[in-house]
Amino acid sequence: MISLLIAIPLLLAFVSVMWKRLAKPLFFLAAVTNMTVLLASWFPNSVEIHVMGSWKPPFGINLVFDNASFYAALVVNFFFFLVSLMPNLVESYGVSLMLLMAAANGFVLTGDLFNSFVFMEIMTITAVTVASRRENFYNAFKYLILGGIAGSIYLLATIFAYTATGSLNMAHVSMATISASSLVAITTLYAIGLGVEAKLFPLNGWVSGVYGGNDLAPVILGTSVSFAALYMVGRLFGTVFHGSGAGVLYTLALITIIIGEVAALRQQNLLKAFAYSSVAQAGVVVAMISKGTSRAMGLAYFHLTNDAVAKFVIFLVAGFLVYNYKNLNGVFKKHKVLGASFSMATFSLVGFPLFAGFQSKLRIIMELFSMKDYLFPAVMLLATLIEVGYVVRWNVKLWFEEETDEKADNPIVAGTLALILSLLLVAVFIKPEIFLGGAMKMGNALADTKDYIHGVLSVVKGGM
Amino acid sequence: MALSTLLISLLVTSVVIYFISKVSWRAGAILNFLIGVFLISYVFALHIGVTSNLGTLFGQKLQLTWTHASYYFSAVSLLVIVSVMLFAIKWLDSQKYPAAFNMFILMMTAGSLGVFMAADLITLYIFWEIAVLSSMLIVPMGKKESRKAAVIYAVMSASGTYMYLYGAFLAFQRYGTLNISEIARHMVSDPSTGIKAAIFLLLASAGIAKSGIFPLHTWLRIAHGNAPDAFSAVLSGQLVKLGSYVLMITVAAIPSLRVFGNIPFYSGIPATNYFLIALGATSIIIGTLMAIKQDDMKMLIAFSSVANGGYILIGIGTMDPMGFEGGVLHVFNHAIAAAVIFMAFASVVYRTHTKKISELGGLIHKMPITFLAYLFAIISLAGIPPMSGFISKWMIYQALVRKGMFITAFIAFFGSIGSFLYVFRPLAGVFLGQLPKKYKDVKEVPPVMWIPMMTLVVISLVIGIWPFPVLQPIEGMRMDYGIAPTMRIADSSHWLIKGFSGSWNPVLVFNLFIIGFVIAYILYTMFPRPKKVDLLAPHKEEGAPINIYTGGEYIYTPELYHYNTKFYAGFERMYEKHPSWEKVLEMLAKFFHDLGEWVHGWFFRPSPSAYTFWVSLTILIVFWVRW
Amino acid sequence: MVAAYKALFNLVVAFFLVLSLEGIGRKITARIQRRIGPPWYQNFIDLFKALSKHPFSNGWIFDFGVLMALGGTMATAMVIPMGSAFWTPFPNSDNFFVIMYLFAVGALGMAMGMVGSGNPWSSIGVSRALTQMLGYELPYLIVISSTIFHYKTASIHKLIEMQRGGWNLLVMPLGGIIAFVSLMGMLGKKPFDIATAPAEIASGPMTELSGKYMGLLHIMHVFAIFVEISLFVDIFLGGGNFGWYLVKFIVVWVLAVMISSVLPRFRIEQMIKFYWGVPLGLAFLNALFVLLGWTL
Amino acid sequence: MKERTIWEQIADSFRSRSIWMLHYCTGCGAMELPPTMTARFDMERFGIAPMATPRQADILLITGYLNTKTLRRVIYTYEQMADPKYVIGFGSCTINGGIYFDSYSTINRLDYYIPVDVYIAGCMPRPEAILEAFNYLMEKIRKGEADGWKRYRENYDWYKQNQIRSLGEVYVHDEFHE
Amino acid sequence: MVYIISIILVGIGVYGLMTQKNLFKHLISLSIIDTAVNIFIVATGYVNGGKAPIYTKNFPSFAIGRFVDPLPQALVLTAIVIGVGTLAVGASLLVRVKEKHSSIDVENMKGVGE
């Protein structure tokens, strides 16, 4: 059943290669199906695996479906579903999006290291295609090069893991005892390899170019794909390597937070500014994951979910504005609904009360204090301070500056979606359980290695 | 109605008000005003000690309680806000975004009330941010510079707020509770001075940022100076008082004398408090000196708010019964005075469209009621009897002299005399003197705008004569915080205010005034009636010169014969080349900006080659570090 | 009721005493300058002549300012104790700070009325007067604060009572001298008559004053001098009875007049620099002595 | 002449003992004032004091010649003085134009334009003459005879007419204004 | 020996990426790195003196450790395919880059702001 998540988009992608005009409805179909599949199997609360070709784990490739991968897949597919509702965004990228969807789902669900490499590479290649929209070729190319290097390093790490443990199955690898020096090599290489997709400093040079280059890329890459990538960070460093190498991640993540916010502060381009902000938020999440406890990881993904929803709204609105107006001053006077949702989303990003970001940020800080980590909260609050600066600046610019004569039609679907999502952010503030429950289950699943190993290696269910 | 219901329904109502205002903003403004009046009556009817639950957040109960402090601060805030709401019914027609203004001002009211009611640090934080956020969105509705002002306001406020948050969680981590009174109890018995001091200063920094105390004062000038004119009254009269409230909470609700009794610095005042006092004193100096040289009248009063914030902090910081009451009473005085002053300025700007003192003059002939409101407000602000402003200054001086804090006292005196200087500058430049020709058709503002001003003035005057209704809740507050609970300062049966070094009778002082005026008036009427010199002659008759002493010269353009630029040139010259903290902060901002440029240039812009370089370098460094 | 009579008596004493002293002061200045000088009652003549003229009024704020100046100063003069606890009209309200700030009403009224005349010379004069205040008040207030700290009371009549054993001037001579220097500034006597400098700014605030306005402000000035010198006498030369009070008052006045008649005028920033230099430093030194208990 | 009330008599005697003087010094005569004021002659012993503004002054001392340009200022200043006010014409120039009598712009007789209470003849009058003039003026004031200010009020039209004839419209705009 | 070759190749690739101005050369360098990694993978599977892991009659006589590991070879196949895919996408992007910016030399490209 779960393998449908990968199979259907893949299949439909190939179908739509032949009938190009069908790409848009097929993408919608794929998204709906995936959502249906996911909703049908709401929170498995146990580790289910789906073996491929009757190879019992640790042999062969298997898909793992537990709370963590379920929640990640849910978020990933949710955003694909939202994108599929907006035909003008999907325009001639239906195939790429379907492939990206398949790859992201595969990346999330797979229980095999090498398979995850394969999915990551497909993800990179399709993401590059998506990134090249609106003639953003050079930046897409840069992304490709960086993704390629990262892929090689990830592959290298996988091979090291294989030579050290003799297995590629994540559960099996996590059981094995690995010599300290190999572990260092493996985790470092994984950190670097994933760092590109997880937007860790200094491997995130591609972000501004890709996110700032068109209106589709940030909407989907900044939400679904980065969620998938950050899920893998949690899976590898939380479940498989038991927190080894977390120090590297922690340090890099803290630097990332500051660097991201500082770079966002000076940015004059709306999309790029929030691209950097998403760099910084990724830093927060990675640093939180590197803490390794189930609560910390749960909060990290809670924060990531809030951030993804907010970012989706922000990039949606920003993309619309940037490609319809030359001068952004005071545009929200003409698009009040877009403006209101944008403002709510940005305030959620900062963590003002009444919005979801408040819940996650404060919980994270509280959790850190209870872990006696005094540095990270300080860094985070400093970052938030910088964030306040540019968020307020953008809001003021977009709402209050003198407007120009340019006109554009109100995008009805996008506006409705943005409004609903930003109201969702308010709802999450009032009732954080909407996201928090799932995120905490995800955190538990990621941190609970024993259960994972047990689930993967001894129970065999389903199959294809 | 429970407190929590009140606040939440206020927040919801504010959104409703927005849509009503979309239909008719005036209806929204009137509704706002009615809600404000209801809130005042509600606040006065509440009993001390009422508590209410707001819900739970991360397993912590969010609680609201109604204390003497909440009563006092809410009442003061609402007085200011309701006046501005009434003022806005007419004033809003000069504004571009009346609907949003109506919504945010109500939201801000809810936020401020929530801050005053909060029983724990997180509730306080939540409502604090609501108040900041909604006020931050009103600020950029003003003129061009106000956009930048909003950003600076938000960042400065946030810098304080996040330090506060850090402090709150530090306290939570150490004491396992966020409830203010419980934290206070734990802190008394906590032996570690360093952490206590850290918590204390971090919590106080929110108040420091908000009430414009020295290192974080620069936002006041730009935000108060450029916000929509009537809203400056709320900013300076009410929002700044949120900061004073937090300072009071940190200094008094956490009994700093007992908590830091082991580090006395001077005259029984702990070093932590003394640090705050030093900051307050610095603010007084900066605020006064900068206010004296401002040409923009709103910025002038903004700097005066810095100075007065310093007074409040000094008063509360001493933790002396007199000083504490003086500081808290000063909250009331400054709130009323600043609100009236800013409303008067808003009226002036409403009619003349400029806030530069050097472009105005002689408006007394056209706007006498506005002038009177301004006059009485500055009498209160400068701390001259019989307005209420004097009482608080007197109390603060009592405390300073009693403690023998002569340098602080010196600074307080300096600020007080300096305040004569700066409040006089707009009085002379804007209202008195010669009326420029372009304003010859200016009219007095309509009653809807002057009634709130005059109401506040009357309140201030009445409190100046009979201060006991305000002093009672303050005494209650003092009892709550256990500052010399046996001492009585307000003696209403003998009409006396008693200090450590003597007392005075405000009613008597007022009566002396009346007697003095009566005698003066009798003398005035006894002697020949004056012939009127018409200062407006050049406006009425084409070609008529000014009929005042001009050294025999004929002058036909009144604005040429009006002294309002560089009013204190002789004094200003003495500190022309002063160091500017604002520039330091600007440098800091520029540093971050340049850092961003640098980061961008080095890590984000370059070609794939550089990316490769960074990836390789990172791998090498990480391996090097880990092996 | 007795208090009211005492207060009125204050006014009467102040009026006649100071007005005659002003005349005497003119006489003394004249003698120092080897002139004959006007008779001692010259100022009464000047005053009544001014009151008898037909003046010009520059608008209602001008009138109101003059009334406020005179009323406020009179109110202050009514609170002043005259040298002993008995001649204290309102023993409950003769707090130093109350007097000091009450006094400001008169100054504010005058400043407002004069600027209300619409004449820039008046504005310049007022701006100078206010700046001056920043100069002389600060050392003065520090000295008085240390006195209050020393005697633990700010009530003037109690201060007088406590000086029965010896003048405060002898307890803290440094403070007394500084207070006297400040008093010179307060009186607006010669080196510090920057605000009214007739040759530069056409007598500053008074430029537009004619007839009875001049007269009423003259009366206000009389009461102001009374308040200023009385405060000095009460705080530094306290003790004794009403008669001695008058003697001390005259001595202080004559001293001030004599000093002022031989000095030229400061420029405004020179004056500020002067007061914020040595007098302020010494005032702090005095405060330090008081804190350490090193009083005589 | 109208009978004075008792109050007026008292007031006049005060006025005669306290004369505040505004001196209008364009001519050479101003040189004679310093010795009159300082130790040698000491004007102050009669209660005479110099004032800086016309509002406070009682007498206008016009030293030396006037021309069409300065006369306008003098009239303006005179009108700004508070009643009762007196004028002393100092030196022959004020009486008949003195040595400048035949200049195109010199005003030859001051009392065509403003009422003069006392003239001091001479070129220059010595300080003794000035004091003598003051004493004479004080005497006149005491007796209520120095009524130039009343005459100016009563014959305002005549004075105005003279002024306008010589000077043109008094309220003229010159190039510095508008 | 093979390890050294792959390390040298990675070095060449990195050098190429860092020094070359031509974007196509970047792509080639990336491909070299891919190849180097692939060689490395194949090399890890080799067991010194091991036999091909083919099921034969005398299979049991081999000790387990004497097999050459077959898995890396399978992995390499996939990796090569992916590398080719990357190369293809990159090349097609470069065609468009050339169209848009009129050059694929980093220093001569037009309209590359920020």
For residue range C244-288, what is the model confidence (pLDDT) as tens digits? 888 888 999 999 999 888 888 888 888 888 888 888 888 888 888
Contact D18 C33 (CB under 8 A): no
Question: How many other CB atoms are found less than 10 A from the CB of residue E77?
Answer: 11
Measured between alpha carbons, how far is B193 from B259 in angstroms, rounded to an integer? 8
Q: What is the DSSP letter of B191?
A: -
Measured between alpha carbons, how far is B392 from C184 in angstroms, rounded to an integer? 29
Measured between alpha carbons, how far is B534 from B133 in angstroms, rounded to an integer? 50
* B166 pLDDT above the threshold of 60: yes
Say whether residue B549 is in contact with chain D using an 8 A CB cutoff: yes
Contact E17 B612 (CB under 8 A): yes
Residue A464 within a domain = no
Using 70 as the pLDDT threshold, list the residues of chain A that sit under it. Answer: 459-464
Please state, for a pLDDT cut of 70, what percent of chain D lies above it. 92
- Residue D177 confidence class, pLDDT cut points 50, 70, 90: very low
Q: Is D1 in a helix, a strand, or coil?
A: coil
User: Do the Cβ atoms of A143 and A94 come closer than 8 Å?
Assistant: no
For residue range A171-182, what is the model confidence (pLDDT) as tens digits? 888 888 888 888
pLDDT at residue C191 in the model:
82
Single-letter amino acid, residue B414: F
Distances (CA, A) of B285 to B205, B277, B397, B404: 19, 12, 16, 20
Average pLDDT over every residue of E13-29: 85
Q: Which domains, ranges and CATH numbers included, belong to chain D?
A: 6-167 (3.40.50.12280)
Single-letter amino acid, residue A270: L
pLDDT at residue A464 in the model:
39
State which of B461, B494, B513 marks the end of a domain. Answer: B513
Q: Which domain holds residue A254?
A: 4-458
Measured between alpha carbons, how far is D52 from B552 in angstroms, rounded to an integer? 12
As for how many domains chain A has, the answer is 1
* Mean pLDDT estimate for chain D: 82
Question: How many other CB atoms are found less than 10 A from the CB of residue B510?
Answer: 17
Say whether residue E23 is in contact with chain B using an 8 A CB cutoff: yes
Distances (CA, A) of B91 to A236, B29, B100: 62, 10, 14
Q: Which domain holds residue E40?
A: 2-101
Residue E114 within a domain = no
pLDDT at residue E22 in the model:
84
pLDDT at residue E61 in the model:
57
Contact B165 A365 (CB under 8 A): yes
Contact B401 C55 (CB under 8 A): no
**Chains within contact range of chain D (3+ C-beta pairs < 8 Å):** B, C
Distances (CA, A) of E81 to A189, E34, E38, E76, E88: 22, 11, 11, 8, 11
pLDDT at residue A463 in the model:
41
**Whether A and E touch (3+ CB pairs < 8 Å), yes or no:** yes
| Token code pair at residue C238 | 């306290």
| Token code pair at residue B239 | 């929002």
Contact C54 D82 (CB under 8 A): yes
Residues of B in contact with A393 (CB under 8 A): 151
Q: Which domain holds residue B302?
A: 3-513
User: Do the Cβ atoms of A152 and A437 come closer than 8 Å?
Assistant: no
Residue A327 within a domain = yes
- Residue D9 confidence class, pLDDT cut points 50, 70, 90: confident
For residue range B302-347, what is the model confidence (pLDDT) as tens digits? 898 889 988 888 888 888 888 888 888 899 999 999 999 999 988 8
Contact B155 A208 (CB under 8 A): no
User: Do the Cβ atoms of B376 and B333 come closer than 8 Å?
Assistant: no
As for how many domains chain E has, the answer is 1
Residues of B in contact with D177 (CB under 8 A): 554-557
**Which residues, 6+ apart, have CB-to-CB distance to D127 below 8 Å?**
D32, D35, D36, D40, D41
Average pLDDT over every residue of B540-562: 76
| D23, β-bridge pairs | D61
**Which residues, 6+ apart, have CB-to-CB distance to B302 below 8 Å?**
B220, B221, B223, B224, B225, B232, B236
Measured between alpha carbons, how far is A181 from A172 in angstroms, rounded to an integer? 19
- Residue D2 confidence class, pLDDT cut points 50, 70, 90: low
Mutual angle of helices A375-400 and B145-175, in 10-degree steps? 150
Residue A298 within a domain = yes
Q: Is B414 in a helix, a strand, or coil?
A: helix
Measured between alpha carbons, how far is B48 from A89 in angstroms, rounded to an integer? 58
Q: Is C150 in a helix, a strand, or coil?
A: helix
State whether the Cα torsion A294-A299-A302-A303 is positive or negative: negative
B116 and B200 in a single domain? The answer is yes
Q: Count B/E contacts: CB-CB distance under 8 Å.
A: 17
What is the CATH classification number for the domain harbouring E84? Answer: 1.10.287
φ/ψ bin of B405: left (φ > 0), alpha (ψ from -120 to 50), beta (otherwise): beta
Residue B528 within a domain = no
For residue range B376-416, what is the model confidence (pLDDT) as tens digits? 898 888 888 888 888 888 888 888 888 888 888 889 888 88
pLDDT at residue A462 in the model:
44
| Token code pair at residue A342 | 């944008």
Q: Is B567 in a helix, a strand, or coil?
A: coil
As for how many domains chain B has, the answer is 2
Residue B386 within a domain = yes
Residues of E in contact with A125 (CB under 8 A): 85-86, 89
Q: Give which of B459, B406, B358, B372 is closest to B83, Cα–Cα.
A: B459
pLDDT at residue E18 in the model:
83
How far away is chain C from the Cα of D119, in angstroms, using its nearest Cα? 24
Q: Give which of B265, B232, B240 is closest to B341, Cα–Cα.
A: B232
* E55 pLDDT above the threshold of 70: no
Measured between alpha carbons, how far is A423 from B185 in angstroms, rounded to an integer? 40
Residue A148 within a domain = yes
Average pLDDT over every residue of D150-161: 84
Say whether residue B525 is in contact with chain E using an 8 A CB cutoff: no
Say whether residue B564 is in contact with chain C using an 8 A CB cutoff: yes
What b/e string do you get for A170-201 counting C-beta neighbours within 10 Å, with b at 16 or more? bbbbbbeebeeeebbbbbbbbbbbbbbbbbbb
Measured between alpha carbons, how far is A404 from A327 in angstroms, rounded to an integer? 7
How far away is chain B from the Cα of D65, in angstroms, using its nearest Cα? 16
Measured between alpha carbons, how far is C162 from C120 in angstroms, rounded to an integer? 47
* D70 pLDDT above the threshold of 70: yes
Contact E40 A144 (CB under 8 A): no
Q: Work out whether strand B531-532 and strand A62-65 pair parallel, antiparallel, or are unpaired.
A: unpaired
Residue A352 within a domain = yes
φ/ψ bin of C262: left (φ > 0), alpha (ψ from -120 to 50), beta (otherwise): alpha
For A94, phi and psi rounded to 5 degrees? -55, -45
* E33 pLDDT above the threshold of 70: yes
For residue range B81-108, what is the model confidence (pLDDT) as tens digits? 999 888 888 888 888 888 888 888 899 9
Using 50 as the pLDDT threshold, list the residues of chain C that sit under it. Answer: none
- In this prediction the pTM is 0.89
pLDDT at residue E57 in the model:
64
| Token code pair at residue C114 | 């004069």
Q: Give which of A395, A384, A388 is closest to B138, Cα–Cα.
A: A395
Q: Give which of B543, B558, B320 is closest to B432, Cα–Cα.
A: B558
Q: What is the three-state SS of chain A?
A: CCCHHHHHHHHHHHHHHHCHHHHHHHHHHHHHHHHHHHHHCCCCCCCEEEECCCCCCCCCCEEEECHHHHHHHHHHHHHHHHHHCCHHHHCCCHHHHHHHHHHHHHHHHECEHHHHHHHHHHHHHHHHHHHCHHHCHHHHHHHHHHHHHHHHHHHHHHHHHHHHHCCCEHHHHHHCCCCHHHHHHHHHHHHHHHHHHCCCCCCCCHHHHHHCCCCHHHHHHHHHHHHHHHHHHHHHHHHHCCCCCHHHHHHHHHHHHHHHHHHHHHCCCHHHHHHHHHHHHHHHHHHHHCCCCHHHHHHHHHHHHHHHHHHHHHHHHHHHHHCCCCCCCCHHHCCHHHHHHHHHHHHHHHCCCCCHHHHHHHHHHHHHHHCCCCHHHHHHHHHHHHHHHHHHHHHHHHHHCCCCCCCCCCCHHHHHHHHHHHHHHHHHHHCCHHHHHHHHHHHHHHHCHHHHHHHHHHCCECCC
Distances (CA, A) of A111 to A178, B246, B387, C212, D58: 19, 53, 78, 102, 109
Say whether residue B377 is in contact with chain C using an 8 A CB cutoff: no
Question: How many other CB atoms are found less than 10 A from the CB of residue A450?
Answer: 10
State whether the Cα torsion C169-C172-C177-C183 is positive or negative: negative
Measured between alpha carbons, how far is B550 from B560 in angstroms, rounded to an integer? 11
State which of B462, B497, B513 marks the end of a domain. Answer: B513
Vertex B30 angle, CA B24 and B31, to 5°: 90
* D175 pLDDT above the threshold of 50: no
For residue range B49-69, what is the model confidence (pLDDT) as tens digits? 888 888 887 777 888 888 888
Measured between alpha carbons, how far is C142 from B406 in angstroms, rounded to an integer? 7
Residue B11 within a domain = yes
- Give the residue, B74 or B491, on which the prediction is more confident: B74
Measured between alpha carbons, how far is B86 from B452 in angstroms, rounded to an integer? 7
B359 and B443 in a single domain? The answer is yes
Question: How many other CB atoms are found less than 10 A from the CB of residue B113?
Answer: 26
Residue B601 within a domain = yes
B503 and B596 in a single domain? The answer is no
Measured between alpha carbons, how far is B311 from B299 in angstroms, rounded to an integer? 19
State which of B491, B513, B535 marks the end of a domain. Answer: B513
